[in-house]
């Protein structure tokens, strides 16, 4: 079987807003969502970077206790965007619970907030320390907590895929969901990713000298993808979900089709665990086009991974130049909100959908002076009103994992 796969619902919690209107306003008005990092006492004082892409979404656990008792913050975010995406898609409950719908959803490492409390309790002085670890703490902190809390809350009984590949987590989730529907294994998939705020995440990248530190006093001016003044990534948090559905089924039930997934590619560099690899990235971009069965000239917009690291941006720009030349506009959406870790792929896919529907391409923020080593591509340096029919979303992760998603605006 080889079926068309469309997007019929989407939702996101991001540092630039939680509704389409808020996100579009930030993108069109050039408003950054990066702010000063929240203080975490001594741990924060030991970190050089002082900026973070924080979401403005109160965790009030409005879900009933039966569902919320197994949720840490990351699962709460995941279930909230899942609910909004399912509501937007308008799928009937009988179908959602029929076994013909599955979930592909992940996070970088479950809930680090809960994990830290477990370790603090375990390594404490109390003889009762083991008894103080909650019965559901593991369910909140395990790496597949987002996926299984979603299945529990909505009664989804189809296949479950829980990717945990750092920056490619949610783009893999969309890709694997796309393949499940395309090849008839499921008729619909709820796909995405989430990550929550935790200082330890910043500390990891800070210790690798990969975080932005020069703009602690002016957080809204970093990160700066492709710019000569870029000095590293900004860690962020967020969540996003999309509903993928077989086209004929969506059309029969009169669903609003937001977009279509044309292709997906995922491969590995087979080498260094941290440094990006030109050949690996180039191969992924070409495989993505092959999967979509289109040429590079058909792509109007590229959402680059563009983390604002010194070498990452250079290698990505050069790989884009080799595959696409100067055809598509290239934008770095992390410039608005930082690197939202496991949720970046799905959030950037949703933002690409919004740009398609509103007929614009958002510029890369803070791209004042393009690094000459990144100058071989067509950078989006100002807000551009244009029709975007096809977009490519690129993400690359530690361990050499690369992904490319190709999506299309619905045909008129």
Domains of the chain (ranges, CATH numbers): 5-408 (3.40.47.10)
Please, which residues bridge with residue 261 across strands?
A: 5, 407
Q: Tell me, what's the pLDDT at 61?
A: 63
Distance CA 349, CA 355 (A): 10
Given a cut of 80, whether residue 308 has pLDDT beyond it is yes
Above 80 in pLDDT, residue 397? yes
CA 9, chain centre distance (Å): 16
Higher pLDDT among residues 128 and 47, named by residue: 47
Residue 64 has pLDDT above 60, yes or no: yes
Residue 22 has pLDDT above 70, yes or no: yes
Q: Which residues contact 247 (CB under 8 A, 6 or more apart)?
A: 3, 4, 5, 6, 257, 260
Closest CA to 49 of 169, 177, 216, 175: 216
Q: How confident is the model at residue 41 (pLDDT cuts 50, 70, 90)?
A: low
- Over residues 180-216, the pLDDT tens digits come to 999 999 999 999 999 999 888 899 899 999 999 999 9
Are 132 and 121 spatial neighbours (Cβ–Cβ below 8 Å)?
yes
How does the average pLDDT of the chain come out, rounded? 94
pLDDT(79) > 80: yes
- Please say if the pLDDT value at position 95 is more than 70: yes
What is the tens place of the pLDDT at every residue in 212-271? 999 999 999 999 999 999 999 999 999 999 999 999 999 999 999 999 999 999 999 988
Reported in sequence order, the residue ranges of 269-400 that DSSP labels E, i.e. its strands, are: 301-303, 329-331, 360-361, 378-379, 384-385, 390-397
| Residue 42 clears pLDDT 70, i.e. is over it | no
39-43, 74-78, 107-111: least confidently modelled range: 39-43
CA atoms of 293 and 261, how far apart (whole Å): 12
**DSSP conformation letters of 61-88:** --S-HHHHTT--HHHHHHHHHHHHHHHH
For 106-115, 299-308, 380-389, which range has the lowest pLDDT when averaged over its residues?
106-115
What distance in Å separates the CA atoms of residue 192 and residue 105, rounded to the nearest whole number? Answer: 5
Q: Is the pLDDT of residue 40 over 90?
A: no
Say how far apart CA 71 and CA 74 lie, in whole Å. 7
- The torsion region of residue 209 among left (phi > 0), alpha (psi -120 to 50) and beta comes to left
Residue with token string 């000239």: 297
* pLDDT on residue 125: 60
pLDDT at 249: 98
pLDDT over 70, % of the chain: 97
304-325 per-residue burial string, b: 16 or more CB within 10 A, e: under 16: bbbbbbeebbbbbbbbbbbbbe
Structure tokens at 412: 């008129």
- DSSP β-ladder status, 329-331 and 378-379: parallel
**pLDDT band at 62, cuts 50/70/90?**
confident
Per DSSP, 409 falls in state P
Confidence of residue 382 (pLDDT cuts 50, 70, 90): very high
Q: Which of 61-75, 338-352, 377-391 has the weakest average pLDDT? A: 61-75
**Pair 40, 113: CB distance under 8 Å:** no
């Amino acid at each position: 079987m080889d079926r068309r796969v469309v997007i019929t619902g989407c939702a996101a919690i991001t540092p630039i807003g939680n509704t389409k209107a808020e996100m579009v306003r930030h993108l069109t008005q050039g408003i950054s969502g990066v702010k000063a990092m929240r203080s975490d006492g001594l741990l924060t004082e030991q970190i050089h970077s002082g900026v973070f892409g924080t979401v403005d979404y109160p965790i009030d656990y409005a879900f009933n206790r039966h569902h919320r008792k197994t949720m840490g913050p990351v699962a709460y975010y995941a279930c909230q965007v899942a609910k909004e995406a399912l509501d937007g898609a308008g799928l009937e409950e009988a179908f959602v619970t029929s076994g013909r719908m599955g979930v592909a959803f992940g996070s970088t490492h479950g809930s680090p907030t809960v994990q830290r409390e477990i370790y603090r309790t375990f390594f404490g002085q109390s003889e009762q320390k083991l008894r103080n670890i909650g019965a559901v703490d593991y369910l909140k902190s395990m790496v597949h907590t987002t996926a299984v809390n979603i299945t529990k809350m909505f009664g989804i009984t189809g296949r479950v895929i829980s990717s945990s590949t750092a920056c490619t987590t949610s783009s893999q989730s969309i890709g694997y969901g796309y393949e499940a529907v395309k090849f008839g294994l499921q008729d619909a998939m709820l796909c995405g990713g989430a990550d929550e705020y935790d200082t330890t995440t910043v500390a990891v990248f800070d210790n690798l000298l990969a975080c932005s530190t020069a703009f602690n006093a002016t957080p809204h001016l970093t990160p700066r993808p492709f710019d000569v003044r870029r000095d590293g990534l900004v860690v962020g948090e967020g969540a996003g979900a999309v509903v993928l559905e077989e086209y004929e089924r969506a059309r029969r039930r009169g669903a609003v089709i937001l977009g279509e997934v044309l292709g997906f590619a995922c491969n590995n560099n087979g080498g260094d665990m941290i440094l990006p690899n030109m050949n690996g990235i180039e191969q992924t971009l070409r495989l993505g086009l092959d999967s979509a069965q289109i040429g590079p000239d058909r792509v109007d917009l590229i959402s680059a991974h563009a983390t604002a690291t010194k070498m990452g941006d250079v290698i990505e720009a050069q790989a884009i130049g080799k595959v696409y030349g100067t055809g598509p506009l290239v934008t770095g959406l992390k410039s608005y909100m930082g690197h939202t870790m496991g949720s970046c792929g799905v959030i950037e896919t949703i933002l690409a959908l919004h740009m398609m529907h509103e007929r614009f391409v958002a510029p890369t923020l803070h791209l004042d002076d393009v690094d000459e080593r990144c100058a071989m591509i067509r950078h989006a340096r100002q807000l551009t009103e244009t029709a975007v029919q096809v977009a490519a979303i690129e993400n690359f992760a530690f361990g050499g994992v690369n992904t490319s998603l190709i999506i299309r605006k619905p045909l008129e």
